Amino acid sequence: MSKRELSRRGVLKTGALGGAGLALPTIFTASSAAAFTNEPTGGTVTLGFNVPQTGPYADEGADELRAYQLAVEHLNGGGDGGMMNTFSSKTLQGNGILGKKVEFVTGDTQTKSDAARASAKSMIEKDGAVMITGGSSSGVAIAVQGLCQEAGVIFMAGLTHSNDTTGKDKKANGFRHFFNGFMSGAALAPVLKNLYGTDRTAYHLTADYTWGWTQEESIAAATEALGWNTINKVRTPLAATDFSSYIAPVLNSGADVLVLNHYGGNMVNSLTNAVQFGLRDKVVNGKNFEIVVPLYSRLMAKGAGANVKGIHGSTNWHWSLQDEGSKAFVRSFGTKYGFPPSQAAHTVYCQTLLYADAVARAGSFNPCAVAEALEGFEFDGLGNGHTLYRAEDHQCFKDVLVVRGKENPTSEFDLLEVVEVTPAAQVTYAPDHPMFAGGTLGSCNPGA
Amino acid sequence: MDAFLLQILNGLDKGSAYALIALGLTLIFGTLGVVNFAHGALFMIGAFCAVTLQRLFSLSFETIDPSQKDFLGNPLKVKTPYLESWLGPDAGGAIIDWSVPLAILFAIPIMITIGFVMERGLIKHFYKRPHADQILVTFGLAIVLQEIVKYFYGANPIQTPAPDALNGVANVGAMIGMDIVYPVWRIVYFFFSVLIIGGIFAFLQFTTFGMVVRAGMADRETVGLLGINIDRRFTIMFGIAAAVAGLAGVMYTPINPPNYHMGMDFLVLSFVVVVVGGMGSLPGAVLAGFLLGILESFASTTWATTTLPGINQIIIYVVAILVLLTRPRGLMGLKGVMED
């Protein structure tokens, strides 16, 4: 019978060897077995939904989250399938993505870039999200897109309308389904020309951040091309609540059109203030004074109430569209939640399906394979007509809606009416257009 | 000249809200010595009193209209307010239309009760604690209150219009031969705030209760030694300050649709107003409120923003720094307040 004695040195040596042995497989897995960040290995795949759950856009974020949950349900074979039934690509079978059941985690962007990056980082590093999607602000979208590029995951942007998202700040791992400021200008200009003529003087009030700047530039360029004169462009703080001191100078400025480059609470308040000051009843230069809200949202229009009546703007999608895809989505969403979806809900639902479909077509969750599948992808049946995911800038090109505040709404949802569906060709621009210059996609980053 | 007068009007109108909120803040600070960061939340709750009354008046029953379809293609459910059904479309519609002014009566008891509960239930436990503790607890309370409101009313702004008769614009320059139009409701708001401010000053100046409160503000200990229950009177003043903030919120709803965050939007500005006016000085708060409102209005003009880009965003803080550098106690601050 042998006797073995334990010494402190011996325990340390054994511990060190054992630790190294245990660590070896992890190091090995991390360095070469995983081809890309958060490669799904089990029977599930996790998607990260990063939406404003608190803060001023929380209602919009809640609608996005509803749409994401609906998309996950449809991808996993639940519900009525929604737009999966009308989507031109038929690779999705309702058995998850590549046979893996879709699960999700959520983050709260708070509509703050730093908070949004922190929640996206947490979902990638702690929850193993293989794709991040969502947002209701261009500042947030650009910040999270940059993070996803560094982390090596795909970012499917939610509601972001700044030209910069797929312009100077575009990234190889980022994709945008939503339209942008340039497209709003291109869609609105002909309608404004028909309604208000070519001899107009415009005054811009603009939210002082990336989205406001690019929309102002786009709308001013589009209307000046019609022959309109832009008399002033005033930047308003994002935190402004009472716009009366910005509206008052408009009264004596000689302008006969006020363009409100505002969104969310800013739009609700500036439009309410403009109507309060009697701008809509004013006659300037022998013409009726007009107000234009280039980016409309039904949720925000509700906040502005009767003030939106007769006011024109543009939108990415509206529940009253009568194509099969829109009808399927409205039926599916409305039956589940009791009210029609917003444009934010629509775009994030589409993004989720488009990501899943790209994975299925690529046969891999590798972000570079997914990006390749999305680049140049042409599809239909998702509510916007024939659509192209352009390879050069990862921007979707599709029809844009020009809408008007409805004079006699029949319900609390019936606030906007579509006055024109502008064909995609009319809003398409060259990849090297000056308004989108200054950045490059770079190369896809698979991470790991 | 028209533009100049218009900006003056606008400044007075903006200053009305600042002055009302700052007046309540100063009342609380002057009486109880509490730095109340929940005061903006009281303004917000007042606004939501108007929203609540509008919703109560608009409670409806549904009837099916087979001739119209809803978004799912089902027969449309048409809502008819009970008030219109009971009193007829004209009388019922008029009550709903006037819900904001009527909400003043609704809000006063609610706001006074909230003020009492806040003061007795929470804030009185912090009287002898440092100002930093008071700020933390009242700021925390403000966040709790706004999250409660968001839970019940959502995050989006809620349209709460003025009565039709008070919508639209009035040509206030007609009597001096100028064309200066201004929204009627904003003029109403200005006169309303002047009325409330005048009422508070008259109450403090010409009533026995007010005299005791003023004496308590000057020397709480001596008033207590005279056998007067000054704490009870200060609690009532807290309720009155809450009501002032609430009424400012009620009447503000047609100007900008209320949302749960509106109190925070005003809070920082109101504190700047109080500091510029002088901590504890009621006339200082009112004067600074109107003054900063006018300055902010002029700083937003085209001339100002093109000459000094960004001046509209910083003017109030620049003025606050200048005032504090030259008059550390503020415009009308009293010696000894927050100087121990």
Residue of A244, A251, A270 to mutate, testing the B interface (most B Cβ within 10 Å of its Cβ): A244
Chain B residues close to A303, C-beta within 8 Å: 156-159, 257, 259
Q: What are the pLDDT tens digits along chain A (448 aa)? A: 444 454 555 544 555 544 444 444 433 344 345 689 999 999 999 999 999 988 778 889 999 999 999 999 999 999 999 999 999 999 999 999 999 999 999 999 988 999 999 999 999 999 999 999 998 889 999 999 999 999 999 999 999 999 999 999 999 999 999 999 999 999 999 999 999 999 999 999 999 888 999 999 999 999 999 999 999 998 888 888 889 989 988 988 899 999 999 998 889 999 999 999 999 999 998 999 999 999 998 888 888 888 999 999 999 999 999 999 999 999 999 999 999 999 999 999 999 999 999 999 999 999 999 999 999 999 999 999 999 999 999 999 999 999 999 998 888 888 999 999 999 999 999 999 999 998 899 999 999 7
Are B259 and A278 within 8 A, CB to CB?
no
Q: What is the largest CA-CA distance in chain B?
A: 76
How close, in Å, is residue A92 to chain B by CA atoms?
26
Q: Which residues in B lie closer than 8 A to residue A263 (C-beta atoms)? A: none
User: How many residue pairs bridge chain A and chain B with CB atoms within 8 Å of each other?
Assistant: 132
B157 touches chain A (CB under 8 A): yes
The residues that bridge with B170 in the sheet, in sequence order, are B182
Q: How many angstroms separate the CA of residue B247 from the nearest CA in chain A? A: 18
Cβ-defined contact of B71 to A234 (cutoff 8 Å): no
Q: What is the 3-state secondary structure (H, E, C) of chain A?
A: CCCCCCCHHHHHHHHHHHHHHHHHHHHHHHHHHCCCCCCCCCCEEEEEEEECCCCCCHHHHHHHHHHHHHHHHHHCCCCCCHHHCCCCCCCCCCCCECCEEEEEEEEECCCCHHHHHHHHHHHHHCCCCCEEEECCCHHHHHHHHHHHHHHCCEEEECCCCCHHHHCCCCCCCEEECCCCHHHHHHHHHHHHHHHHCCCCEEEEEEECCHHHHHHHHHHHHHHHHHCCEEEEEEEECCCCCCCHHHHHHHHCCCCCEEEEECCCHHHHHHHHHHHHCCHHHCEECCEECEEEEEECCHHHHHHHHHHHECCEEEECCCCCCCCHHHHHHHHHHHHHHCCCCCHHHHHHHHHHHHHHHHHHHHCCCCHHHHHHHHCCEEECCCCCCCEEECCCCCEEECCEEEEEECCCCCCCCCCEEEEEEECHHHHCCCCCCHHHCCCCCCCCCCCC
Q: What is the pLDDT of residues B297-340, one digit of tens each?
A: 888 887 887 888 888 888 989 999 999 999 988 888 876 655 55
Mean predicted confidence (pLDDT) in B92-110: 97
List the single best residue of B1, B5, B10 to mutate versus A (max A Cβ within 10 A).
Answer: B10
d(CA A337, CA A206): 35
CB-CB under 8 Å, A249 with B302: yes
Could you tell me which chain B residue has the CA closest to the CA of A413? Answer: B71
A-proximal residues of B, 38-77, CB under 8 Å = 68, 70-72, 76
At B239, the amino acid letter reads: G
> Which residue of chain A is at minimal alpha-carbon distance from B302?
A249
Mark yes or no for CB contact B257/A304 under 8 Å: yes
Using the beta-carbon criterion (under 8 Å), do B157 and A269 form an inter-chain contact?
yes
Yes or no, beta carbons of A244 and B168 under 8 Å apart: no
Q: Does B14 lie at the interface with A, CB-CB under 8 angstroms?
A: yes
Q: In angstroms, what is the C-alpha Rg of chain A? A: 25
Q: Is the torsion defined by CA of A409, A410, A416, A421 positive or negative?
A: negative
- The answer to whether B286 and B19 have CB atoms below 8 angstroms apart is yes
pLDDT of residue A2: 43
* A252 with B305: Cβ contact below 8 A: no
- Of chain B, the percentage scoring pLDDT greater than 70 comes to 98
* pLDDT tens for each residue of B211-253: 998 888 888 889 889 999 988 898 999 999 999 999 999 999 9
Chain A residues close to B312, C-beta within 8 Å:
236-237, 245
User: How crowded is residue A281: how many other Cβ atoms within 10 Å of its Cβ?
Assistant: 12
DSSP-assigned letters across all residues of B67-112: EEE-TTSSEEEEEEEHHHHHHHHHHHHHHHHTHHHHHHHHHHHHHH
Q: B252 and B45 in contact (C-beta within 8 Å)?
A: no
Instruction: Test A234 with B181 for CB contact under 8 angstroms.
Output: no
Within 8 A by CB and 6+ apart from A195, the residues are: A290, A312
Residue numbers in A near B68 (CB within 8 A): 410
How near does any CA of chain B get to the CA of A367, in Å? 35
Angle formed by the axes of helices B184-206 and B230-252, nearest 10°: 170
Residue B189's closest CA among B14, B7, B61? B14
Spatial neighbors of B116 by CB under 8 A, at least 6 apart, are: B235, B238, B239
CA angle A222, A216, A197 (to 5 degrees): 40
Please tell me the predicted confidence (pLDDT) of residue A361. 97
pLDDT at A10: 54
| Confidence (pLDDT) at B172 | 84
Chain A residues in contact with B62 (beta carbon < 8 A): none
Mean pLDDT for chain B? 90
Q: Is B80 on the interface with A (CB under 8 A)?
A: no
pLDDT at A8: 52
Containing B305, the helix (H) or strand (E) segment is helix B302-307
In tens, the pLDDT along B41-71 reads 999 999 999 999 999 999 999 999 888 888 8
SS3 B300: coil
pLDDT in the model for residue A7: 55
What is the pLDDT averaged over residues B179-197?
Answer: 93
User: pTM to 2 decimals?
Assistant: 0.86
Nearest CA-CA distance, residue B49 and chain A, Å: 17
Find chain A residues with C-beta within 8 A of B182's C-beta: 277
Q: Which of A234, A245, A265 is closest, CB to CB, to B10?
A: A245
Six token digits for residue B94: 């008029």
pLDDT digits 0-9 by tens, B11-20: 999 899 999 9
* pLDDT at residue A13, as a whole number: 55
Handedness of CA A321, A324, A325, A328 (dihedral sign): positive
Mean pLDDT of the B140-165 span: 92
Q: Is residue B168 within 8 angstroms of chain A, CB to CB?
A: yes
The reply to whether residue B6 touches residue A252, judged by beta carbons under 8 angstroms, is yes
Mutate to test the interface with A, among B5, B144, B159 (most CBs of A within 10 A): B159
CA–CA separation, A293 and A315 (whole Å) = 10
Contact A306 B161 (CB under 8 A): yes
User: Quick check: B154 and A232 CB within 8 A?
Assistant: no
Select the residue from B8, B68, B99, B156 to test the A interface by mutation, using most A Cβ atoms within 10 A. Answer: B156
What is the pLDDT at residue A22? 45
- In angstroms, the Cα distances linking A275 to A126, A281, B4, B7, B48 are 49, 9, 21, 18, 22
Helices A265-276 and A244-251: angle between axes, nearest 10 degrees: 40
Report the C-alpha gap between B86 and B80 in whole angstroms. Answer: 11
Q: From the CB of residue B122, how many other CB atoms can be counted at a distance below 10 Å? A: 14
Residue A315 contacts residue A297 (beta carbons within 8 Å): yes
CA A367, distance to chain mean position in Å, is: 19
* The one-letter amino acid at A282: K
Radius of gyration of the CA atoms of chain B, in A: 22
The arithmetic mean of pLDDT across residues B23-47, rounded, is 90
Q: Which residues pair with A265 in a beta bridge?
A: none
Nearest by CB to A303, which of B68, B159, B168? B159
**pLDDT the model gives residue B128:** 83
Interface touch B297/A413, C-beta < 8 Å: no
Nearest CA distance, A315 vs chain B (angstrom): 18
Distances (CA, A) of A59 to A36, B156, B158: 34, 6, 12
Look at phi and psi of residue A242 and say left if phi exceeds 0, alpha if psi is from -120 to 50, else beta.
Answer: beta
- Per-residue confidence (pLDDT) for residue B338, from 0 to 100: 54
Selection from A373, A375, A376, A338 nearest residue A357 by Cα: A373
Average the pLDDT over B24-41 and give the result: 88
